[in-house]
Amino acid sequence: MRSSVLSLDSARNALSATPPLDRAVSSALPTRLRPADLLRLTDEGAEDVLAGRYDHLLPANGIWPTDERWATRLLSDDEVDVWLISWTPGKSTELHDHAGSLGALTVLSGALSEFRWNGTELRRRILTAGDQASFPIGWVHDVMRAPAAASDCLQVARNSTAESVGPLDPTLSVHAYSPPLTAMSYYEVTGHGTLRRSRTVLTDQPEGDM
């Protein structure tokens, strides 16, 4: 697990270079890792997946599930979990936060649609292969596999389920959570433009239960 050791070490080494003021400000957070550290970990995880260093964790024969979201934990310790997720069409995460965990992702292949609550409405963006995003505490979003060529077709309906997907063309992303994910809350947008928290669940599954 060379990559796991190097990834965590590199993140921790970066802490020693953090200016004293930043350390003071960030001391209120429940983790020493910063969004930049998580972005770097997901980038390194994606690189390792593409290089075949996690082939032993991938579905047999390279056949990716087409019915349900699939995930495998790439590395884990007390401070961070790093996951590889395969996304399937028409299966959104629902609108959620990550409780007390910071998060980040790097897209390896395909594209993701993210609908993020900006305080007054949901704003959509498309993340394609190579794109990264980080999620501070309080980030509320819904994520799903974007229909093919979504980056060129932003008018595609949010809940489209018409896309078919083969077992060999996955949409993949690497996610990191720190502290490791233990809970998520789910939300509804009310008729008068506010969020209502509908439930909170204990889970260590990335982006919620499959």
Closer residue to Fe ion in complex, CB, 14/139: 139
Which residue, 43 or 207, has its beta carbon nearer to Fe ion?
A: 207
Min dist. Cβ of residue 177 to Fe ion (A): 9
Q: Which is nearer to Fe ion, 152 or 209 (CB)?
A: 209
C-alpha distance from residue 104 to each of 96, 149, 151, 180 (Å): 15, 23, 20, 12
Q: How far is the CB of 62 from Fe ion (least distance, A)?
A: 26
Distance of closest approach, residue 95 Cβ to Fe ion, in angstroms: 9
Q: Of 49 and 85, which CB lies nearer to Fe ion in the complex structure?
A: 85
Q: Among residues 14 and 90, whose Cβ is nearest to Fe ion?
A: 90
| Contact residues for Fe ion, defined by CB under 5 A | 207
Rounded to a whole number of angstroms, the minimum distance from the CB of residue 96 to Fe ion is 6
Q: Which residue is nearest to Fe ion (CB)?
A: 207
CB 208 to Fe ion: min, Å:
7
Instruction: Find the shortest distance in angstroms from Cβ 88 to Fe ion.
Output: 16
* Nearest residue (CB) to Fe ion, 48 versus 207: 207
- The 3-class SS string of the chain reads CHHHHHHHHHHHHHHCCCCHHHHHHHCCCCCCCCHHHHHHHHHHHHHHHHCCCCHHHCCHHHCCCCCCCEEEEEEECCCCEEEEEEECCCCCCCCECCCCCEEEEEEEECEEEEEEECCCCEEEEEEECCCEEEECCCCCEEEEECCCCHHHCCCCCCCCCCCCCCCCCCEEEEEEEECCCCEEEEEEECCCCCEEEEEEEECCCCCCCC
Cα 136 to chain center, whole Å?
A: 12
